[in-house]
Structure 1
Amino acid sequence: MPDFSYESNIDGLVCGVDEAGRGPCAGPLCVAAVILDPARIPAGIADSKKLTEKLRFELEPEIKAAAIAWSVIEMSAADIDCHNILKATMMGMTQAVEALGTLPVHALIDGNRCPPLAIPATAVVKGDDKCLSIAAASILAKTARDRIMIEMDGLYPMYGFKGHKGYQAQSHIEALRIHGPSPIHRMSWATIRTLTEVDYEGA
């Protein structure tokens, strides 16, 4: 389970940064940054992937209410197609930290590399399973993205976004074969190019 040891070893405010949605072939990438108040950390924070959808949505408002600062940035499918998923992730992480309003002295980044920031940062592999701040960010990123995909299901019901959230489920692949891509599909993804025979010319 994640704890606050990484944050406690740094003097001053520390933010955790994580994303949701790198793998799907449809929908945005959401990136969150969170500065937790060590005196008001909600119980139950963990890697979002290890929590049920119900628990994630229950924890979301608790984290937002208790945090010193938080932000969520959305990078659209068009952004991802334009910049590629790695660059879009790094851009989103930079923007999420800058959007906090309260500037931390250090950022803990989930993964093995850090985005360009005006403050020092540390990459923590599997950070959402080690650092409470990163785990909190993983929950905010995941709930924000899931909410968007549920809304997109209302606009494009033929794809079943509410269920698979844009991942390559068999039902999603079959829908792509029948209907082709929607405006929120990532045209640079091999899955989309292969299934829909789209000739994508990206950056």
Structure 2
Amino acid sequence: MTQPDYEMERVLRAQGYLRIAGVDEVGRGPLAGPVTAAAVILNPDDIPEGLNDSKKLTAKKREALETAIYAQAEVSIAHATVEEIDRINILKASHLAMERAVAELNPPPDYLLIDGNLIPQGLRTRSEAVVKGDGRSVSIAAASIVAKICRDRVMVDLAQQHPGYGWETNAGYPSKKHREALLNLGVTPHHRRSFKPVHNILYQE
């Protein structure tokens, strides 16, 4: 299994870009909750060991790495709300969360490595879209880890306010338990009304 590395960042640093942020988002697929993005600038002399795509790490490993990332790097996290997701669509909302995360880095980065194949339109920083970037760049991998843990914690909090949907384990994704609870318990204010399974319950004939 190939591990992400610092090679892209090293090439950029040789070109004079010194504040390189990896940017990633989590939460495009769930039926409930915000979409969350993170931007991380790693210190090239103090990169946490074992960074990888958050989906390839155990929860225990993710949490250990999160602690190291916050201790050794610059981190910014931002969200786009359910209301924004429903108003502008999930892709634009995920880009909005990315733009907000980047905007909170101070001083600002001078180059962005963004997971995916699209660059959010609102970004004014030199940027590069990196397909499957969380498996290629340690900066993006670090962003994927802190974004996932942050969003998972948001969903655990929401699960205590709205028990029965299983958000503490499914993070709002359309698991069997979540779909059954939607039918039996109904739609909460945290559900994305523009997503078909939710929309169909609200507007069934």
TM-score strictly above 0.5: yes
Mapped pair 1:104 → 2:106: no
CA–CA separation in structure 2 for the residues paired with 1:183 and 1:21: 17
1:117 CA drift (Å): 1.6
Output aligned runs, 1:36-75, within 5 Å.
36-67=42-73, 69-75=74-80
Query: Match for residue 81 of structure 1?
Result: 86
CA–CA separation in structure 2 for the residues paired with 1:76 and 1:24: 13
- For 2:194, the aligned partner's letter is S
**RMSD across aligned positions (CA):** 1.0
> Which runs of no fewer than 5 residues in structure 1 stay unpaired?
none
CA–CA separation in structure 1 for the residues paired with 2:159 and 2:60: 19
CA–CA separation in structure 2 for the residues paired with 1:90 and 1:171: 29
CA–CA separation in structure 1 for the residues paired with 2:168 and 2:47: 30
CA–CA separation in structure 2 for the residues paired with 1:151 and 1:46: 26
> Which runs of no fewer than 5 residues in structure 2 stay unpaired?
none
1:55 CA drift (Å): 1.3
Counterpart secondary structure, 1:17: strand
Task: Name the % identity.
Answer: 45
CA–CA separation in structure 1 for the residues paired with 2:112 and 2:157: 31
CA–CA separation in structure 2 for the residues paired with 1:3 and 1:120: 21
1:198 CA drift (Å): 3.0
Mapped pair 1:91 → 2:96: yes
Give the 4+ runs in structure 1 shifted more than 3 A.
Answer: none
Output aligned runs, 1:128-147, within 5 Å.
128-147=134-153
1:113 CA drift (Å): 0.7
Output aligned runs, 1:1-203, within 5 Å.
1-10=3-12, 11=16, 12-67=18-73, 69-115=74-120, 116-194=122-200, 196-198=201-203
- For 1:181, the aligned partner's letter is V
1:102 CA drift (Å): 2.1
1:87 CA drift (Å): 0.8
1:61 CA drift (Å): 1.6
- For 1:2, the aligned partner's letter is P
CA–CA separation in structure 1 for the residues paired with 2:86 and 2:124: 26
Counterpart secondary structure, 1:63: helix
- How many residue pairs get aligned? The number is 197
CA–CA separation in structure 2 for the residues paired with 1:188 and 1:178: 20
